[in-house]
Structure 1
């Protein structure tokens, strides 16, 4: 059996490295984004992946992997925004943002490990296209919760949905590497 924890860490290292480098290039300009804007960015990435999976012709030379990385990083930004709130001006150093990134991914990975134990690594039998569809479904749920001013009656909140999207995207990237 593959070592899911190590594979997860390898995927996150790639995502984290890109996040840190973009922080060095752009700073924390993303801190001004409201949650619906981040959700829409994630939606665009997921829609593009679905289009790539369904269409034979590609007009832009980027594959699914870069879009899954974007989903993971935007979801982490959203989790940070959930905790810290939106600001009018960038306010995080590279070090502070990286520390928050690591905190959010640590919690999200633990959630994955707990669920992975209970589900017996069922994701390994899933298709990447199914993982993409699950991400899109979670996005539609998040949009509905946002439209309901963040209120839910019986469902998990926005944060749990962002965490699930991260984990589905990590699983998809593991599949794409195998």
Structure 2
């Protein structure tokens, strides 16, 4: 498990670095995004990866790992947006954004550690295609929850789906990194 935690933290540190570079460029322009828009942004990235996997051809230079990083950061944005109240300011200071980012990643990492314990790192035997399909399923679940005005009868909420998207994306990046080291 220590190896997984180190790998997880390394992936998150890269995501966080990019997130805060973009925060310097754009500020918190993402505050305007509603839940459906965040889900759509993640969908675009996941669908692009799936299309490349199926067609076995890529015409735009943006790499697949970058798409997983984007899904992680958009899911963090989604979690932050769910936490903020409607009257929260649009423009947030970097210190507050950093604290919110750390809180959401900390909670998501704890969830990963608990699930990883119970599932015995089953994700290490999964395919990249499987991660993408599971992410797409989570996005369709978010859309359905929104169609149900946020209500669920027995299922997890939007936040849990965002956390799973983060964890599946991190796992995909870890496995991709491991496979490139082997080659």
- TM-score norm. by structure 1 comes to 0.96
Structure 2: distance between partners of 1:146 and 1:33: 14
For 1:140, the equivalent position in structure 2 comes to: 140
CA root-mean-square deviation = 1.5
Structure 2: distance between partners of 1:123 and 1:87: 39
Q: Does residue 1:103 correspond to 2:82, yes or no?
A: no
The number of aligned residues is 178
Q: Is the 8 A contact 1:42 1:75 kept in 2?
A: yes
Structure 2: distance between partners of 1:56 and 1:49: 10
Structure 1: distance between partners of 2:122 and 2:108: 18
Structure 2: distance between partners of 1:69 and 1:76: 11
Structure 2: distance between partners of 1:86 and 1:169: 29
The runs of at least 4 aligned residues of structure 1 exceeding 4 Å deviation read: 86-89
Specify the SS of the correspondent of 2:164: helix
For 2:168, the equivalent position in structure 1 comes to: 168
Deviation at 1:90, TM superposition (A): 2.8
Residues 79-118 of structure 1 deviation map (CA, whole Å, 9 limit, x = unaligned) = 0000104569632122211111011000000000000000
For 2:125, the equivalent position in structure 1 comes to: 125
Q: Is the 8 A contact 1:38 1:78 kept in 2?
A: yes
Residues 115-152 of structure 1 deviation map (CA, whole Å, 9 limit, x = unaligned) = 00000000000011101100001110111001111100
